[in-house]
Amino acid sequence: MKKALSIFMISILIMGVLAACGTSSKEKEENASGNGEEKKVLTMGTSADYPPFEYVETAKSDEIIGFDIDLANLIAGELGYKVEVKDMDFNGLIGAIQADRVDFVMAGMTPTEERKKSVDFTDVYYTAKHMIVSAKDSNIKSIEDLKDKTVGVQLASIQEGKAEEIGETVKIKVEKRTRIPELIQEIKAGRIDAAIIEDTVAEGYFKNDKDLSGFTIEEESEEDAGSAIAFPKGSKLTDEFNKVLKEKMENGEVEKLVVKWFGGEK
């Protein structure tokens, strides 16, 4: 009798475990297909030192905000995804994609041919130019004025390549830092003479610091400008995001975000 009872109890336990597993599998399938109540979560890698693309207003909160954040949420929301933002150094973003630590990257990243060897990109969603930023009293008004000067750039950025290009015609010393605010502080401390920064980002610093000034580098090549979304090689998300991105650019929703964050058309 005891043996029969034990077998009966074990059978009930096994049936319960199987039922639980079945429910768990069903829930996972629903979440994966977007049919469940909770949205699928995608991790977005960024470098939150690049206003107005992505940054933190420390006086208000520790939330990462900006143009890229809004655009990511706009596109992902259309596809049924929820975005979780992960902050890291810019020079580690490509590696984070390759190591599957993030699902995609938005960080004002230019889709250069070199980067395309490691990741896939959507179409360009925003185009900007480079600026030479320096102290207002530096008398640096042209590329030629950079001769024998120390120029700062963000590590692994497109500006790093631009500095090398300038160095082919003008003798400069290049210093690399991981974050844009570090470059600004180095200028103010007199440890570097100038820095190469994207124009929209530089304009934000000019508004808050009247001791800084700069000029735009003209005649950019196509590879020198433009931001796109980066994905792992072969990711189906690239085409999904790109399709929605095109739709949002055509219907004016991306332009609305440009006006919100940059104050007008670029």
232 cis-preceded (ω within 30 degrees of 0):
no
Q: Which among 119, 2, 107 has a CA at the least distance from the CA of 55?
A: 107
The pLDDT value given to residue 123: 96
Q: What is the CATH number of domain 130-222?
A: 3.40.190.10
Q: What is the CA radius of gyration of the chain?
A: 24
Question: The pTM is what?
Answer: 0.79
Same fold, 40-127+226-262 and 130-222: yes
For residue 206, give both structure tokens. 């000019």
CATH architecture of 40-127+226-262: 3-Layer(aba) Sandwich (3.40)
pLDDT confidence tier of residue 220, bands split at 50, 70 and 90: low
The pLDDT value given to residue 218: 81
Cα 48 to Cα 52: distance, rounded to the nearest angstrom:
10
- Supply φ then ψ for residue 256, to 5 degrees: -65, -40
Q: What is the pLDDT of residues 99-116, one digit of tens each?
A: 999 999 999 999 999 999
The pLDDT value given to residue 221: 57
Tally of residues, the chain: 266
The pLDDT value given to residue 266: 39
Q: Where are the domains of the chain?
A: 40-127+226-262, 130-222
Q: What is the pLDDT of residues 181-200, one digit of tens each?
A: 999 999 999 999 999 999 99
To the nearest whole percent, how much of the chain has pLDDT over 70?
A: 82
Report the Cα–Cα distance between both ends of the chain, in Å, rounded.
83
The pLDDT value given to residue 250: 97
